[in-house]
């Protein structure tokens, strides 16, 4: 059984991570009472926790493969545009959109569209988001191999 000498250690590590996640999930679930608590952490998440969480949602297989491809094709300049563009998007959204969303108690972007333009626009926007996520998911699958 060459190559399997560490399989017990690997399985043990995975089980340990799962146990830790279950404990954290149970602990956090006792503090969740409303939709805002679940989706937005009750709007009480400090910046040092929110920033890495947002960046983690943007980091995936497509990011690794796309950055490598850009570096190969365009050199360092190609790599610079992707993270700085994403960072500028997040910073501008943070300063411009978050204040409006907090003041109006919106949970999602579609809440804004529903409030401003009505239910029909909210439904159309939701459908557009769902369709775009199929493309994003496909990019992850292709990039991940």
Task: Find the domain containing 113 and state its range.
Answer: 45-144
Any domain includes 8: no
Identify the three-state secondary structure at position 128: helix
Domain for residue 125, yes or no?
yes
Which pLDDT value is given to residue 32? 86
Q: Which pLDDT score, from 0 to 100, does residue 125 have?
A: 94
Tokens of 77: 């300049």
Q: Are 31 and 37 a contacting pair, CB within 8 Å?
A: yes
| pLDDT tens, N- to C-terminus, the chain (145 residues) | 566 788 889 999 999 999 999 999 999 888 888 888 888 888 888 888 888 887 787 777 777 777 788 888 888 887 777 777 777 888 888 788 888 888 898 888 899 999 999 999 999 999 999 999 998 888 888 877 6
Is 100 in contact with 32 (CB distance < 8 Å)?
no
- Quote the number of domains for the chain: 1
Q: What is the pLDDT at residue 76?
A: 82
Half-sphere CA count of 20, side-chain side, radius 13 A? 6
What pTM was computed for the model? 0.61
Query: Does 137 reside within a domain?
Result: yes
Q: Is residue 135 part of a domain?
A: yes
Q: Is residue 21 part of a domain?
A: no
Is 40 among the domain residues? no
- Assigned domain for 133 exists: yes
Residue 85 lies in a domain: yes
Cα distance between the two ends of the chain: 27
């Amino acid at each position: 059984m060459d190559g399997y000498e560490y399989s017990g250690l690997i399985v043990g590590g995975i089980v340990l991570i799962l146990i830790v996640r279950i404990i954290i999930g149970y602990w956090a679930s006792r503090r969740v009472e409303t939709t805002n608590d679940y989706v937005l952490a009750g709007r009480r998440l400090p910046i040092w926790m929110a920033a890495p969480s947002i960046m983690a949602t943007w980091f995936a297989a497509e990011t690794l493969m796309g950055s490598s491809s850009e570096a190969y094709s365009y050199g360092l300049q190609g790599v610079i545009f992707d993270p700085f563009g994403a960072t500028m998007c997040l910073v501008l959204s943070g300063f411009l959109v978050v204040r409006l969303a907090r003041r109006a108690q919106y949970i999602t972007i579609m809440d804004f569209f529903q409030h401003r333009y009505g239910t029909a626009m909210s439904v159309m926007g939701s459908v557009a988001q769902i369709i775009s996520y199929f493309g994003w998911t496909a990019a992850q699958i292709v990039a991940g191999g």
